[in-house]
Each structure stands twice: as structure tokens, then as C-alpha cells.
Amino acid sequence: MKKTCLLASLAILSTSAIAKDPQFVVAKAVADKPAVQRDSAIGYVLFRSDRQATLHLMKIASSEDQLVYDKMRATALAKEKKKYPAKLQSYRQSLATYEQLQKSGQGGKKPQQPVEPTEENFVFTPFGLLAGTSIGPAKRFSKAEGGASVYLQSLTPGTYRIYGPMMVIPNQGAMGACFCMGSVKFTVRAGEITDLGTQMLSGGMEPAHHGTAVDARLKDWPLHPADYRAVGKLPNYYGVKLDRINAIPGVISYRRDQIIDPQQKSAVASAGSM
């Protein structure tokens, strides 16, 4: 399976800068212990599989997230603009040296003129790469003979999309497949478990229903099936296998390469690259 670095061309933020920026998603696997405590301030997601599995979720920006993200981008753009005059001066000096070498018959590589950063051409880390979380394959909430697994993870409340059955390793790369050609979104509420259902062998999801069995340790927790809705296409940020989630009756279907929302009876627009 193809393995790549995390979009080096888009990594405008330095490691130190990212560490100081707000965390859009805080997530942690719930440990397999005899008793578990619920935190009413955070949300939870749960899914099952007949084997060890992986799932990567990306938060969809709320209006508050968008304001923070836009400020981060504006700050990074201002820094790049501030650096531009020095880069241009260095280029001109290198170009003059290159031209002198050419006149004397010597070789050399022509320097490349820097592009002045503008609002239109500035490439900044997409929101989804700053607001994702991978679940599995380790740290299972419960497991059974034959590999059957249940995953339970706490995370920041909000709206998420299933990016794919894949695992992202920070600063190293990713493995798996992305549902970039069609997927679903759902809501995670504070103090509640959102039941994503069961991951099938294909990597797609079979939604949970009211009455779906859950671990006895969670019997008193507020729990509801994921309110899935179709969402549009996203770029294959990690360079993994390209795929789309399976059709789910009443939630998402396809007309060739078009994503159809059966509830709206219409095609779904691309989600863009933010």
C-alpha cells in the first residue's frame, strides 16, 4: 500500500508553530477497563469490526473553527509577505552572478524567481489536516476471539466526516484508503456516544440502529446511532488508495461518479480543499 509523507508541499506551518496553535480536535482512546467514566464535556464515537480495524475522522469546521483557522492563515501569510523582500533581493543577487558566469562561458543553474505571496496564491495547510483523528488498530475497548473488536474514543464535540479506513501517523505518513470520492458526515455531541455502526470487510460502514447491542459497561451512557448524511469529495491529502464509502440506503448513493443525497434527491457538491 502506498505510503507518503504528510503533504510536505502544504506544510507551511513549522512544527513549533503548530504546537502553539489551537487544537481543533482532542481525542483519546477509551481504555478497556472493568469500569469506565463518562465526561459530560466531551463526546464519544464507537464502532465495531470483526477484525482489528482503522478509521480516520476529519472535523468539519464550525463557524468558530473557521474564524480561528482564517486568523491562523492570515498570520502565516503575513509572515511570508514579510520574508518576500529579502527573498527577492537574494534572487536578484543570484541572478546577477549567474548572468556573469554565462558571459564568461561558465555553467550554472539559473535561479528561480520567488513568487510574491498573495491571498490568492498562498498555499496553507488545509483545515482537515489540522483537525483529524485516527482510531485503531490498537487500543481496542473490547475484543473477542477471532479478532472481533470494539473501539471507543473520546473527542471534541462537532461535525465529522469519515475520511476513510486508514491510519495517519503524525510526521510519518498514512496507510489505508480514503473515501475521497464520497463519504458521510455525522454529529458528535458532548456527553453522548455516537454509534458509527460496524465496519465491513470492504472498509465501508453498516449503520447502527436503535437497539443495537452495546457493551454492558456503557448501558447507562447516552447513546444514539450516527445521523449520517452524504458529503462531497475531498482531495487525497495523504496519497493513499482512492475509494468511496459504500452506498447506504436513505443516506448516500451514486450516479457514476456523482454523489447523491437521497434525502435531497440531488447531487452533492465537492467539499473543497479546506
Pairing between strand 158-164 and 193-199? unpaired
For cell 478509521, name the residue.
55
Q: What is the pLDDT of residue 272?
A: 61
Q: What are residue 229's DSSP bridge partners?
A: 185
Q: What is the pLDDT of residue 23?
A: 92
The type of residue at 120 is E
Residues 6+ apart with CB under 8 A from 46: 141, 150, 151, 152, 153, 193, 194, 195, 196, 214, 218, 223
One digit per residue, the tens of pLDDT, for the chain of length 274 reads 333 333 433 433 333 344 467 899 999 999 999 999 999 999 999 999 999 999 999 999 999 999 999 999 999 999 999 999 999 999 999 999 999 998 888 878 899 999 999 999 999 999 999 999 999 999 999 998 888 999 999 999 999 999 999 999 887 789 999 999 999 999 999 999 999 999 998 888 999 988 888 899 999 999 999 999 999 999 999 999 999 999 999 999 999 999 999 888 778 877 765 5
Rounded to an integer, what distance in angstroms lies between the CA atom of residue 251 and that of residue 179? 15
**Measuring CA to CA, which residue among 263, 264, 244 is closest to residue 254?**
244
Q: What is the pLDDT of residue 5?
A: 38
pLDDT digits (tens, 9 = 90+) for 52-100: 999 999 999 999 999 999 999 999 999 999 999 999 999 999 999 999 9
Residues 6+ apart with CB under 8 A from 237: 6, 7, 10, 126, 128, 129, 178
CB 49 within 8 A of CB 199: yes
Rounded to an integer, what distance in angstroms lies between the CA atom of residue 227 and that of residue 208? 10
CB 126 within 8 A of CB 9: no
Which H or E element spans position 265?
none
CB 201 within 8 A of CB 53: no
Cα→Cα distances 237→33, 205, 241, Å: 36, 21, 11
